[in-house]
Structure 1
């Protein structure tokens, strides 16, 4: 019998056909290492003032050359950006990573979901809320990615924009039950298979470009920081900085 590292809900049982078509070779998948490329999902905003367009284009070029790595077994996953190209401006690279969430290392085990990285000049670990990762609507829409059968799933949760107004974050993921590890980019999991394509709202799309199974070349050590805060505390810090920026004009 195959073992899946997730809780089966009534919604998942509705799509129990996914489990019946798995190849026998999936039983031998104990870990996975996936590289993702990033692509712009929207046309460049032509309303950007002309004096900023060169900087925006430099950031977009840097984003197009980023790649991310997900390392996961049945209990732990780790997702992070990998530096793979020289950039003349360190500021451009930081901006590119920040734009797509690459400024953090995302770590998930049985007990917690965290992200660790620079928070306004200080390295911190943020304990993330689980509720935004679990409530998936699985569809029977399918396509192949790197030769694996994938199914579309959607979820959403509330966040806020730069004006602190409430906004809805819509997430779309394509997961493959042929790779029965419940992991994905940015600590998103809870699906009966690993996520091979992922987008939010959708501005940027992450798509698997390379998959390696049962490799010994893994690093699943938990990232560390001197200070740990909760998601609510982190959001309060972000809102304070946004407010200060607005007040400075």
Structure 2
């Protein structure tokens, strides 16, 4: 009987320690929190049309486009979750928010590195969508280069990512033309195993191992430290301020309102709607 009592006590202690361990892990995850503030700057690309403009005209266009070329974001994170959103910014010339640009800008984004999930709220012409998908797979190549960003020693990492995967929330007529062209080729060539080359974007990131989380802005994640700077295409995003364990804790929650779709489904919806707009006005979209 005494032996049975000791065995029963040992089982209870084991269960108790296991529950306590789970509880401590949950508390540590929730109590460890930070806020990273990012400034995003994009270079204006006017294409061949821009070559016909004077320097004065280019500067005037750049001033008008500043609210789209320069944006501010906040990333709130704990060990497993993050919430990324744009700080509201008024148009310097009109005093209004950029309503057109918001249709094709990244919405509020929730990521969970433990469950490999991403939920993003997108608004498209007054309708809310809840884009639920897996995190973007990224194969990082770790470099040895370092540089100081604020108080943090950062290490370099590079990757090559399909361009459409980085801009799935955006739309361009050139992307639509390429999609239609690819579909036409696929339909006309039966049994041909040859596939079109996928456009890739080279990405350069700098991460801080001193902040041991795998988070980063936008689609970027998966490094052994918070990503403080990332450059891709004509855009660079730089962390300008970090607040670790702020006094006012923010509950990190995934967006909940909107029509549930995947990234691919969302792209199909906006492409179809933009084609309708073009057909209704009897004009042609510009790339």
The interval holding the TM-score normalised by the smaller chain is 0.7 to 0.9
Cα distance per residue 1:206-245 (max 9 Å; x no partner): 1011110011332412222231101111122233245456
Could you tell me which residue of structure 2 aligns to residue 40 of structure 1? 42
Cα–Cα, structure 1 residues 162 and 221, in superposed 2: closer, same or farther, change >3 Å? Answer: same
Which of 136, 141, 151 is 1:137 aligned to? 141
Asked whether the equivalents of residues 79 and 187 of structure 1 are also in contact (C-alpha less than 8 Å), the reply is no
Which of 147, 150, 154 is 1:150 aligned to? 154
TM-score of the superposed pair, with normalisation by structure 1: 0.73
Could you tell me which residue of structure 2 aligns to residue 81 of structure 1? 86
- Residues of 2 paired with 1:151 and 1:98: CA distance? 35
- Structure having the higher strand fraction is 1
CA RMSD between the two structures = 3.1
Looking at CA atoms only, which structure, 1 or 2, has the larger radius of gyration?
Answer: 2
The reply to whether residue 72 of structure 1 matches residue 86 of structure 2 is no
Residue 61 of structure 1 deviates from its aligned partner by: 1.7
SS at match of 1:185: coil
Unaligned runs of 5+ residues in structure 2 are: 1-30, 165-174, 180-197
Cα–Cα, structure 1 residues 145 and 58, in superposed 2: closer, same or farther, change >3 Å? Answer: same
- Residues of 2 paired with 1:141 and 1:42: CA distance? 29
Residue 42 of structure 1 deviates from its aligned partner by: 5.9
Cα–Cα, structure 1 residues 46 and 57, in superposed 2: closer, same or farther, change >3 Å? Answer: farther
- Residues of 1 paired with 2:82 and 2:63: CA distance? 31
Residue-pair matches, total: 216
Unaligned runs of 5+ residues in structure 1 are: 1-28
Could you tell me which residue of structure 1 aligns to residue 263 of structure 2? 231
- Structure having the higher helix fraction is 2
TM-score of the superposed pair, with normalisation by structure 2: 0.64
Could you tell me which residue of structure 2 aligns to residue 17 of structure 1? none
